Amino acid sequence: MLLWKNLRFSQLGFVLIKLSAKLSQLSIAQPLGKIFEKENSMKNVKLLILLLLFFNLYSYSQINVIIKFKDNREITDLVKSKGKKLISLKNKNKYNYDDISEIKVINEKTITDHFYIVDTKLYSSSRKKQKGLAYKVYSKGEIELFHIRFSLELDKNYNFPKYYNPEFETFIKRKNGRYAYNIGCIDGVGCVKIKERLKDFFNDCPNLIQMINENKINEREIIKIIDYYNESCTK
């Protein structure tokens, strides 16, 4: 059941296509219905399905990537993801996420995903920090927005939005800053204290804070807030 639970629909479709091809080969000499009438036919089919699932999942665990390290070195490698590290399938080298700044996923010689390894906090004064796998969904001036997944398992089915979506937790970061801060609605907490978190982040722009306090700009209009900050507070 665990295998089935972890399968994506695209993977399942791929498996079924393969299964259909295999069954077609089995039925060359006789109709498909007669195969299933034999005593061991269902066992053979189940075994075939399990084998296809295994090889399909194994292929999804191998990912071609370009890794950019914090010291600006870049390497290209075939890796698998395990916990907080990537492991090379070529030479068994281990790449720790603490040393990585960016990961680009290559699929058929094309870069299909571009992730950032980002450290997050709730407030600048927060002691708790958490590392995540992030998509940059907006950038203007010195401000960047990310949607972040805190499972660091890298796979080919990263299902977070690649563009800004206010329905997802949103994190804001200065390009030269160390941490990204949650300025969206938080799972399990809701949308409380967004204003406080925004004022904490934009504390160098009193005019913007006043507008947020007076509801002249809605705290959920983060793109508008960033644009105002860049136009009015960075000169």
Instruction: Please give the chain's pLDDT, 235 residues, in tens.
Output: 333 333 333 444 444 444 445 544 544 444 545 544 555 566 665 555 555 444 444 444 688 999 999 999 999 999 998 888 999 999 999 999 999 999 999 988 899 889 999 999 988 888 889 999 999 999 999 999 999 988 877 765 666 778 888 878 899 999 989 999 988 876 655 677 888 889 999 999 999 999 999 999 988 899 999 999 999 888 6
The sign of the dihedral angle between the CA atoms of 128, 130, 135, 139 is positive
- Helix 206-213 with 222-232: angle, nearest 10 deg: 150
pTM, two decimals, is: 0.70
Using a pLDDT cut of 90, give the percent of the chain over it: 43
Of 104, 112, 106, the C-alpha closest to 64 is: 106
Q: What integer pLDDT is reported at residue 45 of this predicted model? A: 59
Buried b / exposed e over 151-182, threshold 16 CB at 10 Å, is ebebbbebebeeebeeebbbbbbeeeeebbbb
Type and span of the H or E element at 123: none
Q: What integer pLDDT is reported at residue 7 of this predicted model? A: 39
Do the Cβ atoms of 35 and 27 come closer than 8 Å?
A: yes
Do the Cβ atoms of 169 and 184 come closer than 8 Å?
A: yes
Q: What integer pLDDT is reported at residue 190 of this predicted model? A: 62
The sign of the dihedral angle between the CA atoms of 191, 196, 202, 207 is positive
Q: What integer pLDDT is reported at residue 79 of this predicted model? A: 94
Q: What integer pLDDT is reported at residue 39 of this predicted model? A: 53
Q: SS3 for 36?
A: helix
Of 177, 123, 97, 113, the C-alpha closest to 145 is: 177
pLDDT in tens, 173-207: 999 899 999 888 766 556 778 888 899 999 999 99
**Rounded CA separation 139/163 (Å):** 11
Q: What integer pLDDT is reported at residue 38 of this predicted model? A: 54
Extract the runs of DSSP E, i.e. beta strands, from the chain.
Answer: 63-69, 74-82, 85-88, 94-96, 100-107, 110-121, 130-140, 143-149, 171-174, 179-182
